[in-house]
Amino acid sequence: MPTITKSNIDYDKRNLSDKALLKLYYNMLKPRLIEEKMLILLRQGKISKWFSGIGQEAISVGVTMALKPSEYILPMHRNLGVFTTREIPLHRLFSQWQGKASGFTKGRDRSFHFGTQEYNIVGMISHLGPQLGVADGIALANKLKKNGQVTAVFTGEGGTSEGDFHEALNVASVWQLPVIFCIENNGYGLSTPTDEQYHCKHLADRGKGYGIESFVLDGNNVIETYTKIKKLAESIRKQPRPILIEFKTFRRRGHEEASGTKYVPDELMTEWEAKDPIENFRSFLFSEQILNQETDERYTNEIKTEISDALESAYAEEEIIPNESEELSDVYKTFYFEEVISNSKAKELRLIDAISEGLRQSMELHKGLVIMGQDIAEYGGVFKITEGFVEQFGKDRVRNTPICESAIVETGMGLSIAGMKAVVEMQFADFVSSGFNPIVNYLAKSHYRWQQAADVVVRMPCGAGVAAGPFHSQTNEAWFTKTPGLKVVYPAFPYDAKGLLATAINDPNPVLFFEHKALYRSCLLYTSPSPRDRG
């Protein structure tokens, strides 16, 4: 039992009960004890890597406890407290880190790069930024469903330098989405200090530029974190809007353990060790006679026993034997195509009208389908494919977007996670380069990573021959045909275009739908299928 000293953090327990305070402590203690065990296992070669969140537990625990279990959280590697506070069984987490079948990725990733619909957690990818836009999509689904739910998403101070951060905040502000953006400002992005990451006093100040409320919180003060987020979440549920939170904290271990911390000045490390969120909260609870040594030891022993039992269970699980057939079949979610036999009379229809008709009928069929793109609402898109859609379906489902291809693709992914469908229009296929990362690294890999469908169609007007110049004429389907997890469709005739678009929208996998502009006004005899379900 450590020596109990006076707390270096100024706590105000407000109106929290002793039971609530003890729960906050227990939930912080659990990830700390797990991490201490993981560091031992890492040195023993029993796990391959570890990204430590020691010293940052108050943020993960405070935010997670402030939200409802049904509300999505999008954490990062140093947010173990999110997973444990959501009460994921430890043997499943340990199996995940050891590449066992009881984990969440079938052994394909031995890290936190996974999600779980069972616990409403959506893990990050190494590119960091895309999860911010995905949170926008989940929040948009919540707003459209009017279910009064909040989404919380984490990033580090380094991640705020990415364009995805700015795009996601702007979209959330313009659409007033119920999402809490949580920045863990922990001093270093790998070895790069904050003064080389940004040139402002507080990252929270960036919220002003987007018209977003923002706050700076002591990320090591679990009471401040929990009570403030709880209050904000309650407010957002009643009045949907985004909020930006900057948590001041510190990363006391390396980016990963192999990185070390030689670049951190000794005095800085000492300063933050004195602000340890668990040691200080323990001291406070003892001073208030809320916690005693017997209870503290009981908590520790209980958690250590749970860790030991879960590790034993994970170790006992057999190693995964690679199966090529299963690996290949998991690249795509199973989709059962149902052919529709037309019973309509043949009519002459241009390819552009066939696409518009297919999109309109799909909107009528799928009430949870949202289409997004630049100038697609009242203007009807630069090619007028969605002309009249706003009048029929409303602006909630036909959404003009800012110029931010990356965030809108990510928003489509978030809608899919929340059980909806999305069609994203690239104004020209050339512009997809600005949204390339989330397409090839998020949409394409989600089902293979954690069996999550990416129910997104990206429409791509493409091709030369219309005197549009080099930035509006590329035929760039080759960028995507070599990416496992994506489907690429390129129709040549109106009949094919309508049927393939309807099928692409029915398909729960990500589809890149190319439309050659020079063919838009070509006319062919066309038999229109009935608007019933095509897949």
Report DSSP state, residue 479: G
What are the CA-CA distances from residue 383 to residues 225, 310, 374, 472, 518 (Å)? 49, 58, 12, 13, 12
Q: How would you class 261 by CB atoms within 10 Å of its CB: exposed for 0-12, middle for 13-18, buried for 19 or more?
A: middle
What distance in Å separates the CA atoms of residue 144 and residue 97, rounded to the nearest whole number? Answer: 36
3 state SS of 397: coil
Q: How far apart are CA 216 and CA 2, in angstroms?
A: 31
As annotated, the active-site residues are 472
90: Cβ contacts below 8 Å, ≥ 6 apart: 34, 84, 306, 307, 310, 311
Instruction: Give the separation between CA 262 and CA 371, rounded to whole angstroms.
Output: 50
Pairing of the two strands 346-350 and 523-527: antiparallel
Residue 414 to residue 133: CA distance in whole angstroms: 8
DSSP letter for 320, please: P
Cα angle 317, 321, 325 (rounded to 5 degrees) comes to 135
In order, the DSSP letters of 438-471 are IIIIIITTHHHHHS----EEEEEEE-SSSS--TT
Q: How far apart are CA 384 and CA 494, in angstroms?
A: 16
Residue position matching structure tokens 């066309």:
526
- What is the 3-state secondary structure of 150-200? CEEEEEECCHHHCHHHHHHHHHHHHCCCCEEEEEEECCEECCEEHHHCCCC
Partners of residue 456 on adjacent β-strands: 422
DSSP code per residue over 254-281: -SSGGG-STTS-HHHHHHHHTT-HHHHH
- Let me know: does 467 contact 522? Beta carbons within 8 Å: no
Task: Tell me the two tokens of residue 77.
Answer: 């590697």
305-310 long-range contacts (CB < 8 A, ≥24 apart) are: 306/90, 307/33, 307/34, 307/37, 307/90, 309/91, 310/89, 310/90, 310/91, 310/93, 310/94
Measuring CA to CA, which residue among 74, 175, 81 is closest to residue 122? 74
SS3 65: helix
The C-alpha R_g of the chain, in whole angstroms, comes to 25
Q: Which residue has the tokens 């668990």?
A: 278
